[in-house]
Amino acid sequence: MSENKIIRNVSRRTVLKGSALTTGAAIIGATAPMHFIRNAYAADSFRGDPGSGKSIFLGFNVPQTGPYADEGADELRAYKLAVKHLNGEGDGGMLNTMKPNNLKGNGILGKKVEFVTGDTQTKSDAARASAKRMIEKDNVAMITGGSSSGVAVAVQGLCQEMGVIFMAGLTHSNDTTGKDKKRYGFRHFFNAYMSGQALAPVLKDEYGTDRKAYHLTADYTWGWTQEESIKAATENIGWTTVNAVRTPVGAGDFSQYITPVLNSGADVLILNHYGKDMVNSLTQAVQFGLKDKMVNGKKFEIVVPLYSRLMAQGAGDAAKGILGTTNWHWSLSDAGSQAFVKSFGQEYGFPPSQAAHTCYVQTLLYANACEMAGTFAPWEVIKQLEGYEFDGMGNGPTLYRAEDHQCFKDVLVVRGKEKPQSAFDLLEVVKHVPRAQVEYPADMFGGELGPYKV
Amino acid sequence: MDAIFLQILNGLDKGGAYALIALGLTLVFGTLGVVNFAHGAIFMVGAFCAVTMEKILTISAKVKDPSVTFFDAYKETPYLELWFGKTGSAIIDWVVPISIIVSIPVMLGLGILMERTLIRYFYKRSHAEQILVTFGLAIVLQELVKTFFGANPIPISAPDIVAGSAAIGSWIGLSDAVVYPWWRLIYLLFSVVIISGVFSFLNFTTYGMVVRAGMADRETVELLGIDIERRFTIVFGLAAVVAGLAGVMYTPILPPDYHQGMDFLVLSFVVVVVGGMGSLRGAVAAGFLLGILQSFSSMTEVKSIIPGIDQIIIYLVAVIILLTRPRGLMGRRGVMEN
């Protein structure tokens, strides 16, 4: 009875209303993700997509504190200059010399370039946290920067997970484009293997083949690979390795590691240190009289395989006469280098460091790849960068090798200048080592790039 | 033998630095009962006295640098050199010794200011509260230094006359290869002099004896009509001077940066704990002991047996000492045991 009553009370109008509501709800339910969280579902969506916005954001993640803060400060200067040039301000810098060049000085793909910055503190966890913040909160399309391989490897891994391109700053470990390489990571800077290959012939010419080397090595990924590469290269020219001692990063006082060198029988000290550590260890090694010492009938020598002008500045007189390698130097006379040095010098009153150069170039290369791809979609931009050959950016014809995302170009062997002519004239280029001499097979350091779409 | 001698020397040198910082820390704890986490920051401020002095002495005139053609670059020549030539250069060269003289009144003033305006309000508060407030003070000091001088280390040189190494091996019949930097030898001598000076002050002057009496029994000394609080203020200032001088003298060894104090603070607390809380002799002995152990643990022969020992030796020794002698090497009964 009651059942019939209920049925009787349901009118045709009510049924129609109910049907309409149900159908409507079903349509809204099916399409809601497309409207409200479209990026989470659409196959061609990506992080950092500026959409219809007028600006594209880049994330500059550099060490603003910690042992590599000097490099970080210079990287940031270079990034700001690159942004200016990309937006059509200033004299254009390397935009005038880069070949091939798709950049028009109107931002990237018509969108104004803006940036956010982070402090890596030269700590992997801090760098990852800072990069994550920029990706999630600031919607950056690309992360770049860093002055440590430990940081580069950590941030590169994060960028691969999150699908954002990472244009590495100063990172010299073989691992960055070797066992830890990633599809979303690109390195313009040279690496420890290249330093060894470039430096060894010069060491042979300058110091002979009968030498005993003692290594002091920063105890993290970069130090290990540099020690391995330099050991292999120097042993190839007949040198023997007396000892290789690992030192903690940021040790400050290296005296307890330097005193054993005095009686080790070694006649060469190789400092696999960088930044503040290198300034301290080199200064202290000189204080211990190693530069004036005679061992095995030969003059004792100190070698710093990875050198920079900023470090030479910090080490002062201790850097004079010391051999090493560098990615780039402001005194190069090619058109690209001169254009960059002029822009940078006019802006800041002093020449750029190698860290500044690599960061500036990386920003322009990313922007150019976006223009070539016609989109900010990272997998398309990656395809443009892979195997890309360019010139006019300071190191001669350069290749971004597709298999490991490592740039191949000429390497410079430099020496601390004995009689500097100016406050910046601290290094002299001893040799331009051609790209062919530092090339190696793509699978030599292992690793897998991973997928284009994540 | 040569290697062992060098490591002993190295350890004494390191130990001198540790002992100097730990001495001030213990002095403050022993007299005022305050656990001063800002002590490392005072060491850092001392180092920055030398940096400030260097900046003052090298105030420069800007002259266009003709060797740079790409852009307008400028050479900076200190006015002292422009006005006084070689004498001016010599004054700049002696920046560290000059800073030592200047830093004494500066650090004494800073110490007294800190004690009168902040620390004295925490004498009767718990150690946890003392730690919190002094740690906060340390952060404030280091952020102030960072604001004015930046985050990067600033190299300061020792005078040229002591920039090289002493052929110490040939003096004592060891190999000619045994050399040691002059400045580090001076630092070792300096720490011995300062430590002896502080001990002499406390043991052989009436002022020092009253301070020691106050350390042992504050109430009785006050009943005798002595203003012990005023003397303790001076002791806090003295501890700041000792830490500050240690900082100034350390600048040619390690370019100072704003975070240097924190790096040394942890080490010096370990030294104080190993030596025994409140024991001045313990702090000095532990400073030298840990310095020497740290040097020996860095030897290749030792590291080949226990890899990485150089990085943990200090903490390992602290654990062993605290397990076997919970009050430290020379700790007194009743200190921090309530």
Helix H, strand E, coil C: the string for chain A is CHHHHHHHHCCHHHHHHHHHHHHHHHHHHHHHHHHHCHHHHCCCCCCCCCCCCCEEEEEEEECCCCCCHHHHHHHHHHHHHHHHHHCCCCCCHHHHCCECCCCCCCCECCEEEEEEEEECCCCHHHHHHHHHHHHHCCCCCEEEECCCHHHHHHHHHHHHHHCCEEEECCCCCHHHHCCCCCCCEEECCCCHHHHHHHHHHHHHHHHCCCCEEEEEEECCHHHHHHHHHHHHHHHHCCCEEEEEEEECCCCCCCHHHHHHHHCCCCCEEEEECCHHHHHHHHHHHHHCCHHHCEECCEECEEEEEECCHHHHHHHHHHHCCCEEEECCCCCCCCHHHHHHHHHHHHHHCCCCCHHHHHHHHHHHHHHHHHHHHCCCCHHHHHHHHCCCEEECCCCCCEEECCCCCEEECCEEEEEECCCCCCCCCCEEEEEEECHHHHCCCCCCCCCCCCCCCC
A264 shares a domain with A383: no
List, as ranges, residues 49-68 from B with C-beta within 8 Å of A. 65, 67-68
Is the pLDDT at A42 greater than 60, yes or no?
A: no
Residue A387 in domain: yes
Domain range for residue A356?
55-190+330-409
Q: Which residues of B touch A425 (CB under 8 A)?
A: 67
CB within 8 Å of A365: residues ≥ 6 apart: A167, A186, A188, A385, A388, A390, A400
Q: Shortest CA distance to B25 belongs to which of B286, B251, B256?
A: B286
Helix (H) or strand (E) holding B147: helix B127-149
CB contact under 8 A, B155 and A279: yes
Residue A136 — pLDDT band, cuts 50, 70, 90? very high
Residues A151 and A174 in one domain: yes
A167 plus A273 within the same structural domain: no
Please give the ipTM for the structure prediction. Answer: 0.76
- In tens, the pLDDT along A116-131 reads 999 998 889 999 999 9
The answer on A339 and A317 residing in a single domain is: no
The stretch A74-85 carries a mean pLDDT of 97
CA distance A346 to chain B (A): 6
Identify the residue among B67, B71, B143, B154 best suited for mutation to test binding to A, counting A beta carbons within 10 A and taking the highest.
B71
Distance (Å) from the alpha carbon of B232 to chain A's nearest alpha carbon: 34
Contacts of B3 in chain A (CB under 8 A): 259-260, 263
Residue A262 to residue B6, Cβ atoms within 8 A? yes
Decide which of A270, A304, A326 is a domain's last residue: A326
Across B193-201, average pLDDT: 92
Q: Do A245 and B157 touch (CB under 8 A)?
A: no
Q: Same structural domain for residues A186 and A133?
A: yes
Same domain, A152 and A201: no
Query: Are A227 and A350 members of one domain?
Result: no
The model's pTM: 0.81
Q: Is residue A49 part of a domain?
A: no
Six-digit token pair at B171? 């003096």
pLDDT at site A33? 44
Show which of residues 241-270 on chain A sit within 8 Å of chain B, judged by CB atoms.
243, 245, 248, 252-253, 255-257, 259-260, 262-263
> Do A97 and A183 belong to one domain?
yes
The secondary structure element, H or E, covering residue B280 is helix B280-297
Q: Are residues A184 and A59 in the same domain?
A: yes
Is A422's CB within 8 Å of B178's CB? no
- Tell me the CATH number at A403: 3.40.50.2300
Span B216-227, pLDDT tens digits = 788 888 898 888
Q: Are residues A184 and A200 in the same domain?
A: no
Asked if A362 and A243 sit in the same domain, the reply is: no
Q: How many CB atoms lie within 10 A of CB B184?
A: 27
Residue-wise pLDDT for A260-313, tens only, equals 898 889 999 999 998 878 888 998 899 888 988 888 899 999 999 998 888 888
- More reliable by pLDDT, A27 or A56: A56
**Within a domain: A303:** yes
Same-domain check for residues A227 and A305 = yes
Q: How many domains, chain A?
A: 2
Q: Please name the helix (run of DSSP H) or strand (run of DSSP E) that holds residue B63, with its range, or none.
A: strand B60-64
